[in-house]
Structure 1
Amino acid sequence: MGRILAYLAVVTALVTALFAPLVAHADAADIDAAARGVVRVIIIGEDGDGELYPISHGTGFAVSGDTVVTNAHVVRDAVRDSGLQIGIVPNGGGEATYGRLIAASPQNDLALIRITGGNLRLPPLALAGGAPPDSGEVTSVGYPMNVDRAQGLEIGDIFRSQPPVKSRGFISGQRPSRQFDTILHTAPIARGNSGGPLLDTCGRVLGVNSFGADNEGGDAEFFFAVSMRELLPFLRANDVTPRVNERPCRSMADLDAAERERIEREQQAARQDLAQRAEASRAKRERAQLEAEQAVMTEREDRVFLAFVLLLVAFALGQWAIAIYNSEERDETRMRIVAVAAAVAVLAAIAAYLTRPGLDEIDRRVAAAMQEDSEPGSSEEPVTGDLALQCTLLPERSRITSAEAQDLSFDWAEGGCVNERTQYGFFGGTWSRVFVPNSEDAVSVNSFDPDRRIYRVERYLLPRSAMAEAREARGKYKAPVCGAENAASQLGDLQTEVLGQLPRQANERLVYECSERR
């Protein structure tokens, strides 16, 4: 009996594993992209000799280029003692700098810090809009102290840039706690994680990690994050406009699969349309052939009959002319007139016979009938060349996590010049332009298909080190001006080094459908 029960247990486990629903895991690239805007927040004191030392630290994340959200309890000491300073240590390189507390709300454990020192520019994290989720995978990002201790980091080491720790878990539900709205989850946090973001699978902020459940002195198994219902009103009350993304979270793999299905459907529809057009054309040609044959044969018979009638008239006129000639009272003038009329009738008969339509007239009439419905300019092929375009975002074909996506318009010249100032490169059958801005840690590859009127923006959200390499590669060449000789092919070759440094897959994709402006 024991063996049977053990066998049944194994079978049950296998069946459960085979038929359990697959869990959609977070894309590591999305979490890494969001982690670029996560910082360590340090409360700093100064001794009598002017030496700086850390009092406590937590985590924060950027909601604008110079504004950081954290927990109110992280900056509690700085609120109580104006002599303490707030240090901001960025992730992935960059010098530590100072911040100024501009708002603190102990009622919902939120605080806002404005960066005041240096030229630190942080990539803002996008906030997830809509109703807070009741389930799903989440990731906590921050700087837990127990990890610092396990790594043997000294006190001074926390002033140096370190990558944040990422821990995965699941949402366990929503419940108010400590008089504010929170999200209960299982993505582990510890002291030092406070103020860090709780991210969904697209790297968007679902909440601000705040505290863990007390498990009788042991490690907490459940954790709480301040929800968007608290964070969004807090930011707006302090004149901060965050990036909010309410679109469904879709992986790039799902988007690619949907794109392949869409292309297959379009190709199948095109094949069906082509078959229908071919069948309609064949039926039309058969009708035109029958009608042309009937018309030509009728005309041929009519011309032959006309020639025969004219010959009969000519014969009668000839007999009349002979009768006049043989009469006793010969009228020479009348005889000549009748003879001429007879000759004209003969010539007309010959002309009617010779001008009857030939059999090749059937083919000409069929060709003319097939072209009757094909008027100039009625072709369904898009007209390329210089275009003035209005482009509309296609959300179902796009993946947007943090970008500000708006409809756009531009003028396209046949040689790849946009708005008479930005040259696009042509390489591998694609028109594209690579943008490596100094104001943002993201590389954009914009491409345009003038035949299909599709404009795409692929965005790569890179860490500082990768952005530095991309900027260095971009700095090696100067884009040719619009209209220069071989400008498109030249730029297409120049951009290859930057493109070769990019990851295999973009973080975001914006797809626009364009039409001519009226």
Structure 2
Amino acid sequence: MRQLVCALLFLVLASLAPTQVQADPADIAAASRSVVRVVVFPANGDNVPIGHGSGIVVAPDRILTNAHVVAEEEYDGAIRVMVIPSETGGPISAEVIARSPRNDLALIALRNGRRLTPAALFTGPVPDGVDVFAIGYPGGVDVAQGLDLDDVMRPQAPVKTRGNISAGRSAKGFETLLHTAAIGSGNSGGPLVDACGRVLGVNSFGTISDGSDAEFFFAIAQREVATFLRSNGVAYRSVDAECLSRADMTRAEAERAAAEKARIEEENRRADAARSRSFTEARRQAEYDIIETRDNRSMLTVVLIFMALGAAGSAWQLLERERRDQAKLAGGAAALFIIAGLIAWFTRPSFSEVDEITRAALAETADPAAPAKAATAGKLTCVIDRSRSRITVSDTVDVPFEWRPDGCVNGRTQYAEKDGIWTRTFVPGQEAQVSVVGFNPATSTYRVERHLLGEEAMQQARAARNQYDVKSCSTDPAALEKVVAMNEAVHALLPQQANEVLVYQCE
């Protein structure tokens, strides 16, 4: 029995323990789009590389790497730098525009007008023990694969390794993150990312092991990176939201829906109880009113009958005195009193009228009907709900949103309605992401599902989008059908789950 109790206690405690976020391969793949290979050549035009490393796209035309990767003194002379993207396109000529040897950072500017997909830096705290991933181009892998120079200069997916953060230790002179995600020569300048693919730091160096010790590695912390980028005028992407797993989001949404359902049921129960009490009280009051009215009219009938009898007696006495005209008046009064008494008696309310009187009283005294939910048409401000959002690359500033009941947004973009949700899919020509945007007028909820796709998938999505001319608002059924068809055509190409989910509440 004791063993059973202990086992149950262990299961309860295990269920209460915080769960570590499990990385989704799609998030790490999305982060890999922003990783490049940096190849160093002598400036004299010799096409034999003298060094190479990795880099992170921090702006469409800016690459962050280690200072030692592009240190001219390390190569005994002037150097020439080439950047090779991880996906499509050939090598890009680049130049070093800033170096910070103190914390081993350097900034490279792309030439030729090429633009790449920037990464997002995570600016929040990095907990001890969390999963991290090193992404880059270790030279040992190139050698093991037998790659020649032509292979190295072609786009290739970077290598990913997994490890954990060991917080609390830092290199002298600048802040670093100690971790166990294996890196090798060539990983220098590549990112260390979290389970959501946000950059935590820039891999720089590792411990020296003789084979008997475990190896540990160091990444330059994002605070050092952020300071360096700001000092060089780079407007980088940053995210400070906790990395939520999709399982966490699903569970949180289920809990929220259950809580909302329980709240509505409780409100309905209270409303029903209030209505029941109101009806009971109104019925009791109606019964009291009927009894009072019946008593009053019965008393009035008795009074009128007595008055009729008095008038009749007066008429009789006047006849005996032969005062006929006055006797007629008295007799007429007696008749009127009798008629009034009969009316008072027979118009007494019946107890069968209780329900009707109750309903009439409730209709007169009830509060006005509860106003409908505030109309959502017009200019709205949508505020992020972090508890319902999975934020990986976007900022969380408020979103201005002008809504019309016909699905026209901001006076220029037509959305299509399905099951009460108005939806539009956006496929930008430059950025490597597809956004599925939905608005629910009933709840004033604005939702963005963002898919971070590779170059090939983006080309397919753009081709599907460009089949439809849906540039302006229109209530014409044919135009609405085009929006629906465009949404469906792009949706068919998207992964089942988005990399980022942003939920806003609009007012």
**Structure 1-normalised TM-score?**
0.88
Letter in 2 for 1:448: F
Report the Cα offset of residue 45 of structure 1: 4.1
Letter in 1 for 2:149: I
Further displaced range: 309-318 or 455-464: 309-318
For 1:174-193, list aligned pairs within 5 A.
Answer: 174-177=168-171, 179-193=173-187
**Which of 51, 55, 60 is 2:50 aligned to?**
55
Contact kept, 8 Å, 1:383 with 1:451, in 2: the verdict is no
Further displaced range: 396-405 or 168-177: 168-177
SS across alignment from 1:291: helix
Change (3 A) 1:165 1:465: same
Further displaced range: 441-450 or 386-395: 386-395
Change (3 A) 1:218 1:124: farther
Report the Cα offset of residue 304 of structure 1: 2.9
Report the Cα offset of residue 383 of structure 1: 4.1
- Cα distance in 2 for residues equivalent to 1:484 and 1:454: 22
| Residue 338 (str. 1) matches residue 330 (str. 2) | yes
- Cα distance in 2 for residues equivalent to 1:337 and 1:255: 93
Partner of 1:498: 490
SS across alignment from 1:506: coil
Report the Cα offset of residue 293 of structure 1: 1.2
Report the Cα offset of residue 71 of structure 1: 0.5
Report the Cα offset of residue 494 of structure 1: 3.3
Report the Cα offset of residue 112 of structure 1: 0.3
Change (3 A) 1:87 1:404: same
For 1:94-109, list aligned pairs within 5 A.
Answer: 94-109=89-104
Letter in 2 for 1:54: P
Q: Deviations over 1:357-412 (max 9, x none)?
A: 23343222222343455433534x41446343222211111111210221123222
**Which of 22, 25, 39 is 1:25 aligned to?**
22
Change (3 A) 1:86 1:480: closer
Query: Is there any run of 5+ residues in structure 1 with no aligned partner, and where?
Result: 1-14
Contact kept, 8 Å, 1:416 with 1:488, in 2: the verdict is no
Letter in 2 for 1:397: R
Change (3 A) 1:384 1:130: closer
For 1:392-431, list aligned pairs within 5 A.
Answer: 392-431=383-422
Query: Is there any run of 5+ residues in structure 2 with no aligned partner, and where?
Result: 1-9
Letter in 1 for 2:410: N
For 1:446-485, list aligned pairs within 5 A.
Answer: 446-479=437-470, 481-485=472-476
Letter in 1 for 2:185: R
**Which of 279, 282, 290 is 2:273 aligned to?**
279
| Residue 259 (str. 1) matches residue 253 (str. 2) | yes
Contact kept, 8 Å, 1:417 with 1:424, in 2: the verdict is yes
Among all aligned residue pairs of Structure 1 and Structure 2, give the percentage whose two residues are the same amino acid: 41
Change (3 A) 1:346 1:153: same
Change (3 A) 1:99 1:418: same
Partner of 2:3: none
- Cα distance in 1 for residues equivalent to 2:374 and 2:233: 48
- Cα distance in 1 for residues equivalent to 2:413 and 2:356: 51
Change (3 A) 1:43 1:262: same
For 1:29-108, list aligned pairs within 5 A.
Answer: 29-45=26-42, 52-77=47-72, 84-108=79-103
Instruction: Report the RMSD for the aligned CA atoms in angstroms.
Output: 2.7
For 1:168-179, list aligned pairs within 5 A.
Answer: 168-177=162-171, 179=173
Contact kept, 8 Å, 1:78 with 1:84, in 2: the verdict is no
Change (3 A) 1:69 1:174: farther
SS across alignment from 1:173: coil
Further displaced range: 124-133 or 253-262: 124-133
Report the Cα offset of residue 340 of structure 1: 2.7
**Which of 208, 211, 229 is 1:214 aligned to?**
208
- Cα distance in 2 for residues equivalent to 1:247 and 1:46: 43
Q: Deviations over 1:102-143 (max 9, x none)?
A: 10111211100111214x322221112134443321100001
| Residue 231 (str. 1) matches residue 225 (str. 2) | yes
Paired residues, what number?
Answer: 494
SS across alignment from 2:175: strand
**Structure 2-normalised TM-score?**
0.90
SS across alignment from 1:501: coil
SS across alignment from 2:360: helix
Partner of 1:8: none
Report the Cα offset of residue 40 of structure 1: 0.8
Report the Cα offset of residue 23 of structure 1: 4.7
Contact kept, 8 Å, 1:303 with 1:352, in 2: the verdict is yes
Contact kept, 8 Å, 1:299 with 1:356, in 2: the verdict is yes
Contact kept, 8 Å, 1:436 with 1:442, in 2: the verdict is yes
Letter in 2 for 1:331: R
Partner of 2:339: 347
